[in-house]
Structures are given as C-alpha cells and as structure tokens.
A and B are shown apart, each in its own frame.
Chain A
Amino acid sequence: MAFSPNASQVDDGLKSELAKKGIVVTTLNQLYNWGRRSSIWPMQFGLACCAIEMIATACARYDIARFGAELFRPSPRQSDLMIVAGTVTKKMAPQVVRLYNQMAEPKYVITMGACSIAGGPFIDGYNVLRGIDRYIPIDVHLPGCPPRPEALLYGLMELQRKIDGQEIETTEWYQKGLKREYPIPDFGPHGLIPKFNPEVWNPRETENRKERYGEPILIGRKDKAPNLDLPPAPPRSAAPAPAAPPPEPAS
C-alpha cells in the first residue's frame, strides 16, 4: 500500500520564519491526522498467546503509552483500533466480526500473529479460521508467533503512517453511503456459513500450492490401533539370555 506523505504546501523557509515569531502554519489535514494518530485507543481484547505480548507491550518496559495508545478500552464503542491478538477459531469468528461492526468510525484493525493472519501453526485444525481477513478488512498484518512487543510497536507506527496519509475530503467515513458493517457468519454444524465475505476476500483463482510447496509429506499411516496387551519387545542391545543350567544327573 502506498502512503501519500500529505506534505504541507507552505514553503519551509517561510514556515521557520513564522515559527520564530510563535506562529505555526499547518494544514487542516495534518493537524487532524496528528490528533487522531496520537490517540489511538485499542480495544482490550485478547484471544490467545499474542494477548500476553500485547499486555507486555502496554507494561513498563515497552510502554505503548509513548505512542498514545495506552488506553485499552474494554468496550468496542470507545475504541479506534482492534488488535486481533491470537488464534481466531470458528466459534469465535462471529464474535470478532460483531465487535468490528460495533466499533465506531474511523476504525482500524491490526492482526497480531500468524494465527490471525492465516491460521498459523494451527492451520490444519478443523476449528481454526484461516485468517480473519476473510471477514473484515485489515490495515496492518503483523507476522510472528507471537510477535515481539517491538514488532507490535512497529505495527502501530505503520498504522500511524497510514493515518498520516488520509485526507478529510476523501476519507471513507465522511462519504455518503458508507457501509462498513459486514455480515456476521453463522457457526453451523460444518463450520462457518458463509465461508468468506466476498466483499473483502476472494479465494485464489489458481491453486498452485503443489508447484510451490510440493507434495505433502505423509510420515505415517494409521490403519489399526496398537495392541498394548503384548509384552514390550526386548531392547535391541540386550545381552542374550543365559542358557538353562544342565539338569543334574540323577544319583
């Protein structure tokens, strides 16, 4: 995504001259974006392991307060940013979409960790959603398992850069007819219905998984249960059993 720098049109020399006399010249866009990006309130919403790193980011060593994002709000109505921190399961996905719908505009989403981007290590699980971007639009993807607190701060700075590039005239939430409420999927007996939201995500047209990754590695087949009643096999390096003593000659 290309960010426009949203630079001021005022000459730099004139600006510094005026600044000496205590006058600041700026554009409305810059002032507006400065205010918005310096007070992003995240939602206090942890899903799994990454939530602990999110809490660590809020604590003293990493101190997300330096970026103005320390005020974790438990309510979606008061928050600007949703950090999807952790594995989104199929049972939890309707709640995540509902929370996104309940947030007030302007709203941003960071996916934190490999699980919420694409399923991560649990992608093979029958109950794990392969990426929350199938249902809601994402602003910043943040890889890692879990990402370090520094990575979350970097993701926040990227989001601030994105906010800096926005303009009042063209932003979505001031336009007429904005619809940013996405349909909430149903948790049915065979997973989520619908499987994805075509407004934000579409499956790849060509399946080139085999060309890219090769055949899946099958390391064993499970046909029948092991018989645990058998005595354990003797260890390979065991010494041969001593021969039976010769029978004593009858006297």
Chain B
Amino acid sequence: MTEKTFSLHGAGDMDTQTLEINIGPQHPSTHGVFRMNVVLDGETIVSLKPVMGYLHRNHEQIAENMSYTGSMPYTDRLDYFNSMSNNFGYAMAVEKLANIEVPERAHYIRIIMAELTRLVNHVSVIGFLLNDLGAFFTPVLYAFREREKILDIFEEVAGARMMCNYLRFGGVKYDLSPEVLARIAGILKKFPKFLEEFETLLTKNEILCMRCQNVGVLPAELAVSASVTGPMLRASGVNYDIRKADNYSLYERFKFRVPLGQKGDVYDRYYVRILEMRESLKILEQAVKEIPAGDIMSKKMVPFLKSPRNFKPPVGEAYARVEAPKGELGYYVVSDGTAQPWRYHVRAPSFINLTILEDLCIGQKVADAIIILGSVDIVLGELDR
C-alpha cells in the first residue's frame, strides 16, 4: 500500500476539526445499499471506510443446500444487470467438474448472450456514472432506451427480461430462431449510431473532461497487487483480458482487440467501456454470421433437464472464470459425489475491485468520491452475495 498524504489548503495555523459523515445506505448515488464512513477535512477526504453486508443474502449457503441446476437461477441475482454472464461462469465451472462437452452451436449462443450483456452493462454503467456527475437521469434515459431493445431479445429467447436463467450444464435451454438472429443483426446495425450519438454528447464534453480527468488515478502496480480486474484494470494500462488469456469457450475464433487506458483515471474507465462496447459489437457480428447449425445441448446432459436432482458430478473441485462485464467472475465448486455441492464460492469482481476504493479517494473532494465509486461499477447483489 502506498503512503497516503494530503494537505490542508489555506488552513495556516488554525485548528481544524475533522468531520465524520455517513454516506448511505439510503443514498441516491451509492448504487444500492452500500455505506461509506467518510472522515472529511473541509471537503477533502481523510479516510473512507466501506461498510458492506446490507444485501448479504446467503447465496453460497443456499447453493450448498440445493441441486446443481437449482442454483442456476440464483446466479442470475448475483449481478442483476447481466444474468447471462453469471450463468456462463457457473455452467463452465460445473462442466469442468463433470467433464461435459458443449456443442459448438451452444458455445456460439453463449458468446452472443455474454456480449449482449456486456453492451447492456456498460451502457447502463455510463448512464449511472453521469447520473453521479450531476447530469440527473438524462443519460440514463438514453442508456435504458438501448437496454430495453436488448432485453426484448433476452425475453424472446429465454422468457424473462432480467433474470434469464438460460444456460444449462452442457448447453443452453432454448434454441435461437433465425428471426431472433435477424433481430440481433438489426440491433448491431443500429447500435453504432447510438454509440456515436452518446459519444458526441459525452466524450469531448468539457464538463465531463474537467470532472473526470486526473480524478481517482489508479496506478497499474496497485491495480495488479490488489487483483483488480476488468475494465478498471485495463483502464490502468494492464493488458489482461480473460477472453484472451484463457481462451475459454470459443473466444479464440473471434477477432477483437483489448482497449487499454493510459492514466487509469475516471475518464479512462469511462472511455475503455465505450471502446469495449465497440469490440463487443465486432464479436457479435462475427458470431451472428458464423453460427453453425446443430445441437444446443450435449446428449449426456439432456436427461438431467427433467430430473436435475439425479445429476451427481464425481468427487473433485473445479474453478472456472469468465470475463464478466465487471471483471473476473469465478466460481469454485467442490463436489462430494452427491447431488449438492460440498462447497460453492463466488469470486465476485465488484467486491475485489472495491477494495482499493480508499486508496483512490484519499485526498480527493467528497464529490469526486461519488464519481470514483460510480466508475468502479459495483453491484451490491454481487458484492455482498
């Protein structure tokens, strides 16, 4: 940890007192029920202690007491912006545990869904970040307009808007019809225009630049040593994307680049997300064009769709990770040969990315702490689990 220094501006020899204030848990810009105990000197932050656990709903304990398939809908509720990515990670962990092959078409469908969720997540996060900056609700209106179009596709495919519960071990639940693929292709045509509109309003906006540049700088060494992942790590200039590093699923077949930031400030985190959306669009275009025909479930797993309690993986442990929109989302599952996992653990990116919040905020103004928190991109369902 680096040593934190701060200076009082114009205090001279006067005695000043620090003020302890409490932001949250009911606060419009803490992104849920998150609380920060902040000690202020004037308007400068001296110390910041995050208080968590207001949404601790025992996800891991509940999952250890039900069948493997039974906790698939619970993973939707971890990071409730992108349920498909959460399903993806969990399905991969159990497939590793039980040695299940996934058909090629199912891999393609999974990648399409994971990249669509990335679009949903990044667009909403940028909306909320601007909400924290003071542009009250207007950017969210733009963002949610696009989000609804993608959620329509999820609804048509999986039957639910937010909590899709779509992936199964060894494949996916329902097939994609040609009409849905045509609709996805339609979204891909329109989305770049929306991104351009969004960027015209935001990227070179002077207020946004002044508020965001050189605020909350995260050095690359600190980011690596605190095991920060996802767009936050890449904004600091570290080239690490699990889609490239692990080549899980069929990501090696797709051509895309990993956008990197230079400084690691709030502006870089905003801009890396915009660029990532463009790369996601590239992956989606290739996937929609090349998706093969074939099965969507592995034959071995089809009987367990009707009787999930008979699914008993062999004794062993498995850890699988995916590049969720917020960072490395990992699932660790230990099987003891019964129908329930012996141990189930989630490595939540929001939780681990938040550990450096105090380092980012010390010495900044209290209004900047709000946007730093907004740029970290936390979701409380995943943070507290």
Contacts and interface: CB of A to CB of B under 8 A. Distances in A.
Interface in A166-224: 219-222, 224
A52 interface: yes
A124 B62 contact: yes
B50 interface: no
A61 B334 contact: no
Nearest to A124: B62
B301 interface: no
A60 interface: yes
Most B C-beta atoms less than 10 A away, residue of A44, A48, A49, A125: A49
B314 interface: yes
Nearest to B131: A55
Contacts of B81: 52
A49 B33 contact: no
Contacts of B147: 56
Interface string A20-64: 000000000000000000000000111111011101101111000
Interface of B: 25-28, 32-33, 53-58, 61-62, 64-67, 73-74, 77, 80-81, 99, 137, 140-141, 144-145, 147-148, 161-163, 309, 314-317, 334-340, 342, 380-381
Contact of A91 (B32, B53, B336): B53
B64 to A, nearest CB: 8
B163 A49 contact: yes
A220 B26 contact: no
- Top 4 closest pairs, chain A to chain B, by CB: A125-B58, A226-B336, A49-B80, A220-B338
Nearest to B136: A72
A226 B144 contact: no
Interface in A113-160: 121-122, 124-128, 145-146, 148
Given A91-B54, A124-B62, A233-B315, 6 more contacts: A53-B161, A74-B28, A92-B54, A128-B57, A219-B340, A228-B316
Contacts of B66: 219
Given A49-B381, A55-B144, A226 B54 contact: no
5 contacts: A49-B77, A55-B144, A92-B55, A219-B339, A228-B317
Contacts of A47: 32-33, 55
Q: What secondary structure prevails in chain B residues at the interface with A?
A: loop
Nearest to B340: A220
B61 A228 contact: no
B342 A226 contact: yes
Nearest to B83: A49
Given A127-B56, A145-B163, A60 B340 contact: no
Nearest to A148: B161
A87 interface: yes
Interface residues of A, number: 47
A89 interface: yes
A249 interface: no
Contacts of B339: 219-220
A126 B32 contact: no
Given A52-B80, A52-B81, A59 B54 contact: no
A227 interface: yes
A127 B384 CA distance: 11
Contacts of A122: 57-58, 62
A224 B28 CA distance: 46
A58 to B, nearest CB: 8
Interface of A: 44-49, 51-53, 55-56, 58-61, 74, 76, 86-87, 89, 91-92, 95, 99, 121-122, 124-128, 145-146, 148, 219-222, 224-228, 230, 232-233, 235
B342 A225 contact: yes
Contact of B342 (A51, A55, A222): A222
B55 A226 contact: no
A225 B339 CA distance: 14
Given A49-B80, A222-B336, A230-B315, A59 B144 contact: yes
A46 B28 CA distance: 9
A248 B141 CA distance: 81
Nearest to A86: B55
Which of B26, B62, B315, B381 has the most A CB atoms < 10 Å from its CB?
A: B26
Contact of A56 (B53, B58, B144, B163): B144
B95 to A, nearest CB: 15
Contacts of A126: 58, 61
B113 to A, nearest CB: 18
B375 to A, nearest CB: 19
A92 B25 contact: yes
B130 to A, nearest CB: 14
Nearest to A146: B162
Contacts of B163: 49, 145-146
A132 B148 CA distance: 30
A218 to B, nearest CB: 9
Contacts of B137: 58
A242 B339 CA distance: 34
Contacts of A74: 26-28
A47 B379 CA distance: 11
A86 B334 CA distance: 30
Nearest to B145: A60
A2 B315 CA distance: 58
A90 to B, nearest CB: 9
Contacts of A230: 315
